[in-house]
Amino acid sequence: MELTPESLRLYLVTDPKLCPGPALIETVTAAVRGGVSFVQLRDKDASTHDRIEAARVLKNALSGTGVPLVINDDLDAIVAADVDGVHIGQEDVAPAIARRRLGRDKIIGLSCETSHQVAAADANLVDYLGLGTVFPTSTKTDHKSTIGLDGLCDMVRFAQVPTVAIGGLKQEHAAEVLGTGCNGIAVVSAICGQPDPEGAARDLCRAMHPKNEDPK
């Protein structure tokens, strides 16, 4: 699947604690109806077998929507489930290894926590960058210090590929994040675990646009 900057507009990262078991598929399908444009299956504690099974169910549910599905840091699961790609961190498998294993047709996303990491990212190897952590978040406790909106703005300037911001982002941050030049926002708890994931996604989409501008 070809990645466009618009694909990153509203990026959902799943959380097994906030949407366990059957709630995963229910949350994702509802969120996509509400406007989510990209999905990352993230479960650091799951086995590869369980990731494959979950990915296959999600892939089937997303069929025909045009919404890309990537798996966090598990190349074996990506190959077996034949999803759209992988998202990796700085301490995960190297982008060059991931590209050799997955080929040119798969999406590779890379997390960056500093401007130096952004500048070092090879546009021939990675398709997009996840920038953050912007604000404190309880869904990922092993991140380095937060960068805030000013830090995000600095990082975007060095990017050679599309970018998505992540880390403690909620509806009230949406327009400001896009104002830094980021192509989109990534959220976890702003959708996962919410009583109405579809409505939460729709509200996030609306918040990305000034009041006098209709969403496209």
List residues with catalytic annotation. Answer: 42, 111, 140
2: three-class secondary structure by DSSP:
coil
End-to-end CA distance of the chain: 22
Distances from the Cα of 93 to the Cαs of 51, 89, 214, in angstroms? Answer: 17, 8, 41
Please list, residue by residue across 161-198, b when 16 or more beta carbons sit within 10 angstroms of its beta carbon and e when fewer do. bbbbbbbbbebebbbbbbebebbbbbbbbbbbbbeebb
Burial class (CB in 10 A: 0-12, 13-18, 19+), 209: middle
Q: Which residues, in sequence order, are bridge partners of residue 39?
A: 12, 69
Spatial distance between the Cα atoms of 104 and 125, rounded to a whole number of angstroms: 9
Max Cα distance, the chain (Å): 48
96: three-class secondary structure by DSSP:
helix
207: CB partners within 8 A, 6+ apart? 171, 172, 174, 175
